[in-house]
Chains A and B, each alone.
Chain A
Amino acid sequence: MTPERWDRMKEIFASVSNLSGEDRESALALACAGDPELKSELRQLLSQHDDMGRFLDGASASGFSGRLATDFILAERYRIVRFIGAGGMGDVYEAVDTELKGCIAIKIIRSHAIWDERSLERFRREVQLARHVTHGNVCRVFDIGHHRQAGEEIIFLTMELVPGETLAARMERTGRISQQEALVIARELCAALGAAHQAGVLHRDFKPGNVMLIGSGEKTHAVVMDFGVARWLGDGSTSASMPSTEGGIFGTPAYMSPEQIQGKGLSVASDVYSLGLVLYEMATGTRPFREQSLWGEALKRLTLDPPEPRATIFDLDPAWNRTIMRCLSRDPSRRYSSTHEVAAALQGASTEGGVRQHPRIAAFAAFVILVSIGAIFVLRNRIFGPSLPAEKHIAVLPFKFEGGDPANQARAYGLSESLTEDLSRLPGLGASTWVVPWRAVRDRPAGDESHAGSSLGANLLVTGELELRNGGLHLSTKIEDAGSLKTLRSEVIEVPEASITSMEDKLVERVAAMLRLPAPTASHQLSQIHDPPAPGAYEFYQEGKGYLQRKTAEDNDQAIILFERAVEKDPKFALAIASLAVAYEWRYRNTKDIQWLEKARAVSGHAMSLDDKLSTAHVASGLVLEDSGDLQGAVRALEEAKSLDPANEEVRNLLSVAYDQAGKLLEAETSLKEAVNRSPANWVCYNDLAAFYYRHQQYALAEPLFRAATELAPGNPKAFYNLGGVYAVQGKNKEAEAILLQAIAIKPAAGAYSNLGTVLRSEGRYADSAAMLEKAVELVPNDYRLWQNLGNAYVLADNREQADKAYHRAVEEIQRALALSPRDNQLLEALALNYANLRQKNNAMLALDKLSGSSAQTSDVLFNSALVYELVGERAHALSALQAAVRAGLPETRIQATSTFDRLRADARYNSVVAVQVRLSK
């Protein structure tokens, strides 16, 4: 390139770059006549000019600019997933919160002009206020974040990720909004603004660009974004010359109230005005005085009353026309004083104007689900129905099956379990929205329907009733308020026989929509099936799943039969094969019969060979390895399962247990803590972590966590008697007694009575203690531990005869359990203990001899062995067992609190053997 030629190009470039199409082409041809090379070079340069967008604009290399790359970690916490859109002052990203999991939106605030300490403080205050607005139609603001890198700082805002399209984009695409839909949107906008106003927050920049629409037609949901903070975020239409100072002008003049344009103080009426403009635009497709210059438009509104919307849309509902015009009064005092009034005025419109016409069915015809006629009325109800809480703590209760046929009951049960898993895999779940793990639902006491909410720590319940109709499935499902049990949403889902496998997909899709959660992505369990299974196989699988992991061994056996049938129907159905392996594993754990372990090993290997990306297959393999003694291998397999299905609560829990068993206590603790961080309002997570500490005798750590669980699930007796238990082992008898009485008041439970009995015993109230334990065995007559405790209580109350009866009953129950699991150490040592209590020394020693494996060396087992030895008069054995127990972590307080050891502690050898070990262990 020569300077001369470049100058020539410069001249032509300047004259044609602003032209386009043919104009440019002919100008170029004229200017470059006789020099085709020059023309082609210029054409190249011009096309680069057209393509370069904002290349090198607005941002010099010296400021922080440029887009954050995918996987960039912001503030050591938020992993950027994708760029969503650009604003004039900052970009918007989708990001994963690696701390609490779940997806959020991040808005980068880049305008360095506003960040003096004073404005930062003001910004903080406003975000703080905005955080209080928790309404289903308001996009929640979470936090302000700072990212620092070598002295430079990015300030950003984290908020709820709302998928959808803005009202602005929607109107750009389709023009005006139909009256039906406009009404739905308008009501939600009024509700959103109303909620914010009640919390003392003005929007200040309400406009279609700040409204997100989810869905369309009657099912549209509107979510209002950027409450109170819009002015800090800026957007493309905000000119940099608009100062963002207090009382000054900021934002888009197109939707500003006259007082805002004049820089006067703002009030609720200012938001009402902006709302009026948005309603105007939805109804007519345009704004009053619309013209090229937004400022020109805004200034006209300052001096003139806008033309009535009815002037453009002749058939506009008169009430809409009236309402809009009053919102647009130039004098703020003449507008509506609240957006609720606006909604009411528009509602008047709907009754007069006949906006409620035939609901559209067409939209549903596209789904495989057929929405029955009955459901359409319900659907309407759904849209106009009561709003959902902003924080959603969801529990899916086992679905019922009309007719009571056990096979179908299992299918209903399996379907509700699948729904729980699928819902917890939805994107965007986090601290404010989470799903109660199936484990907690499953283990909940029976007949607990009426206060399921407080016992599960949930505020929303998903219930369902399944019916078979013409070979297809008919499920009527509801979202209920957990407190009042009022139905908030309901829907009927029908799946014809031919597409029965789609039920799970449709179910999660519809329930997510009812809960206003983001739509499921491809990552849920059913998508683990690559090819549709052979006919009939899926039904058997689903039914089997309903039995798997229920409480009894019989349920599990039933699951095995069903999975085997599913696999028979379709030998390549990897998910069913993997589930079969898991069921075999449980049977092995129930029976300790080695053939089931081997079967599980073979079948899990087969499942893995069919599909090594199936998390269930890795779960099966992990369980097999765990039982084969390869604890590290088990951890690896379950870690793999977790990485394939990160949201699965069951998998995470199994992994925590595996860590614990493999001695990876730190990992176990971390994993359990993660669960707490992910769902900080889910009592189950606190309970699990507390139970972990409890197992490792960290009572001081366990106690506050158990307490937190009781606060989160105030209706759950388990949470209370666990807390009572941890008080009791620490000798805090008063606290224990109070909390256990509270547990019993919630719901009489055997565990609560038993723990209370223990507390009373340690206070010397033996008769009371026995009375509590009598109540416990009455409630759960097949738990040997309760009989054993009862026997102990009778002994102390000097009722030897009753005591022996209780110990006999304990022995019976243990032997019943041992018939199924002959190698269970815990059972064996309990057997020994009860024989010892019955003074049957030989039987006791025989049982102790059968103890085997590594778990025979845990402090609990050793402690109990010592008890047995002491009871049968083998003092030397008792002392060495106690010494070993202390070495394994048993606190001396346990020994001191056990009256059976009173005489042993008086023995001179106690000091030289046990007490020395206690000091050593410290």
Chain B
Amino acid sequence: MSNEMAKDGNPSHAITSLLAELRKGNKEAEKHLVPLIYRELHRLARHYMRGEREGHTLQTSALVNEAYMRLAGEHAVDWKNRAHFFGTAAHVMRRVLVDHARARDAQKRGGAAEKISLEDAFVYTEAQAWQVVAVHEALNRLDQWDQRQCRIVELRFFGGLNVEETAEVLSLSPTTVKREFQMAKAWLFGELSRNTKGAS
């Protein structure tokens, strides 16, 4: 069903329906959403990289936001839809950010030649690049015993969602999100500090 909608000529209809499915708890919808988001992000990134929008403030979350505005069109006003969109995009962003951080690392050690890609549109300091990979790897461990906490960090850290948006995506209360995030952060902080000490 959702497959047909995705093929519908108007992407904003497709997106809105997929998001509505997501809100109903239909996990299948996410599978169709991811490629749409990925494609749109790619298109936007290329657009930016060509410098056509020189001077415009752009951050990664702004990029995702723009992708959302384009895909959802007039239906973009519903913040809950937006939250679900971002929640899905968080997956994509995590993947992209981690790949990019690793690619950069490889490049520094004399790896692959530079090519303009979606990853180049994501900018962070060296410290963050390291952090991105470290958080990603620690999250893989946390995922083994607490998937919800893991998802909260993913949404907050990789997706740039605030507490309320995270709560909406996961159908939790904001208080729970806050509490879980506190503990996950404390645990990650320990993982990452030990990681640094080991590395240095």
Contacts and interface: CB of A to CB of B under 8 A. Distances in A.
A62 B185 contact: no
Interface stretch (B8-16, B68-76, B128-136): B128-136
Nearest to A13: B183
A359 B60 CA distance: 59
Name the 6 nearest CB pairs between A and B, nearest first.
A62-B60, A49-B186, A60-B160, A151-B48, A52-B189, A152-B123
Interface string B30-62: 000000000000000100110001011111111
Interface stretch (A2-10, A286-294, A363-371, A827-835): A2-10
A48 B191 CA distance: 10
A1 B190 CA distance: 15
A6 B124 contact: no
A46 B186 contact: yes
A6 B145 contact: yes
A69 B131 CA distance: 14
Interface stretch (B19-27, B77-85, B105-113, B151-159): B151-159
Interface in A20-75: 44-46, 48-49, 51-52, 55-57, 60-69, 72
Nearest to B127: A66
Given A45-B187, A61-B124, A151 B49 contact: yes
Interface in A121-150: 146, 149-150
5 contacts: A48-B190, A61-B60, A61-B158, A62-B64, A63-B160
Contacts of B5: none
Interface of A: 1-3, 6, 9-10, 13-14, 17, 44-46, 48-49, 51-52, 55-57, 60-69, 72, 112, 115, 146, 149-153, 155
Nearest to A153: B57
Contacts of A1: 144-145
Contact of A62 (B56, B159, B180, B190): B159
Contacts of A62: 59-61, 64, 93, 97, 122, 158-160
Interface in B172-197: 179-180, 182-183, 185-190, 193
Contacts of A66: 124-125, 127-128, 131
Given A3-B146, A14-B179, A115-B57, A64 B123 contact: yes
B167 interface: no
B179 A150 contact: no
A51 B185 CA distance: 11
A151 B185 contact: no
B125 A72 contact: yes
Contacts of B157: 56, 60-61
Interface in B76-126: 93, 97, 120-126
B61 A60 contact: yes
B145 A45 contact: no
A569 B121 CA distance: 66
A112 B128 contact: no
Most buried by B among A49, A69, A152: A152
Nearest to A2: B145
Nearest to A5: B145
Contacts of A65: 124, 128
A111 to B, nearest CB: 11
A57 B146 CA distance: 20
A154 B161 CA distance: 21
Contacts of A46: 186
Contacts of B127: 66-67, 69
Contacts of A10: 146, 180, 183
B185 A55 contact: yes
A688 B156 CA distance: 58
A269 B153 CA distance: 48
A45 B45 contact: no
A68 B125 contact: yes
Most buried by A among B62, B123, B126, B179: B123
Nearest to B96: A62
Most buried by B among A45, A62, A112, A153: A62
Contacts of A55: 185, 188-189
Interface of B: 45, 48-49, 53, 55-64, 93, 97, 120-128, 131-132, 135, 144-146, 153, 156-161, 179-180, 182-183, 185-190, 193
B189 A151 contact: no
Given A45-B190, A61-B158, A64-B124, 4 more contacts: A2-B145, A56-B157, A61-B97, A61-B128
A152 B158 contact: no
Contacts of A68: 125
Contacts of B131: 61, 66
Given A46-B186, A64-B59, A66-B128, A151 B158 contact: no
A2 B59 CA distance: 38
A2 B183 CA distance: 16
A150 B127 CA distance: 17
Contacts of A151: 45, 48-49, 53, 58, 63, 120-121, 123
Nearest to B155: A60
Most buried by A among B53, B97, B189: B189
B158 A56 contact: no
Most buried by A among B45, B62, B93, B180: B62
Contacts of B156: 56, 60
A63 B125 contact: no
Nearest to A116: B57
Nearest to B123: A152
B56 to A, nearest CB: 8
A789 to B, nearest CB: 59
Contacts of B55: 146, 153
A68 B180 CA distance: 29
Most buried by B among A44, A55, A63, A151: A151
Contacts of A6: 145-146
Contacts of A2: 145
A150 B120 contact: yes
Contacts of B132: 61
B104 to A, nearest CB: 11
Given A66-B124, A112-B57, A150-B120, A61 B135 contact: yes
A52 B185 contact: yes
A146 B186 CA distance: 35
A121 to B, nearest CB: 12
A335 B198 CA distance: 62
A14 to B, nearest CB: 5
A152 B60 contact: yes
B158 to A, nearest CB: 6
A112 B158 CA distance: 17
Contacts of B146: 3, 6, 10
A49 B182 contact: yes
A60 B186 contact: no
Given A60-B160, A61-B132, A152 B58 contact: yes
A728 B183 CA distance: 81
A538 B195 CA distance: 54
Most buried by B among A46, A51, A56, A155: A56
Contacts of B153: 56
Contacts of B186: 13, 17, 45-46, 48-49, 52
Nearest to B181: A56
Contacts of B49: 150-151
A48 B189 CA distance: 6
Contacts of A64: 59, 123-124
A150 B183 contact: no
B151 to A, nearest CB: 14
A69 B125 contact: yes
Contact of A60 (B158, B183, B189): B158
Contacts of A13: 183, 186
Nearest to A151: B48
Contacts of B159: 60, 62
Contacts of A52: 185-186, 189
Nearest to A240: B162
Contacts of B135: 56, 61
Contacts of B183: 9-10, 13-14, 17, 45, 49
Contacts of A49: 182-183, 185-186, 189
